Amino acid sequence: MSCAFAAAAVVSLGASSSAQTSIPDISPAPQLSAAEPPPKPKARALTADEIRRKGLAQYIDMSRQKETAPTLIDGSQGKFAASVPPPVKKPAKAGSRTYTSGCWYLETESGSATYAGIAYHTWCGDGAQITYTSASCTGSTSGPTRRYEGCQNIQGYGLGWNVWDVTDKWHFCTSYNSYTGVCSARIHPWQKNRYDANGQVWLLGWGN
């Protein structure tokens, strides 16, 4: 597996969720898979105009807003694993530190042209806590023997925490009989990322 964040990349048939109270993800930590890592995501900071236009200004202190490009880190690799921050609820701000606010946007893919999945994540933070989250996903495939069956964004932590976890998972039938309507084989590609209140992103794992 590559040490680069060859990924980052998920709620059903393109569903979405936003600005709601998050519940800690109590599922077991995903195990690394022999599957190829997902491709590097597209990530960027939102501008002040975009933040206002999208109605996100209420979630951050615009007087401290700063466009800070997201940092993408492959936290699944041993040498970077120590940099992954543990979840902390209502983290306190250090009085000696100057905090900046911001919002960020990320698009990530499942990594397969045949079974194409994509997820969209938006989050805001005040430098210490996550203040807004939104996640959605969709997918597609082609051919009479393949079917796209939906996707999920499994979220943990988030609002009021120092990090936001999102596991994006897509569901595909790889062997569909159009005469009987029966699917005899499926795959469920997934990837898990952790986001912090400063725009950093860690890839925690992926698989099929």
Token pair recorded at residue 13:
């048939």
* pLDDT above 80 for 6: no
Share of the chain above pLDDT 70, in %: 79
Would you call 180 helix, strand, or coil by DSSP? coil
- How far CA 27 is from CA of 20, 23, 133, 202, in Å, comes to 19, 11, 20, 18
**Which whole number is the average pLDDT over 105-127?**
94
- CA dist 118 to 65, 72, 113, Å? 28, 17, 11
Residue 75 has pLDDT above 90, yes or no: no
Check residue 171 and give its pLDDT.
Answer: 97
Is the per-residue pLDDT at 21 higher than 50?
A: no
**Nearest residue to 124 (alpha-carbon basis) of 208, 66, 41:** 66
- Identify which of 169, 165, 196 has the alpha carbon closest to the alpha carbon of residue 26: 165
Whether pLDDT at 5 is above 80: no
The predicted pLDDT at position 80 comes to 60
Query: What is the tens place of the pLDDT at every residue in 144-189?
Result: 999 999 999 999 999 999 999 999 999 999 999 999 999 999 999 9
pLDDT above 60 (res 129)? yes
User: Which of 179, 122, 119, 124 is closest to 150 using CA atoms?
Assistant: 119
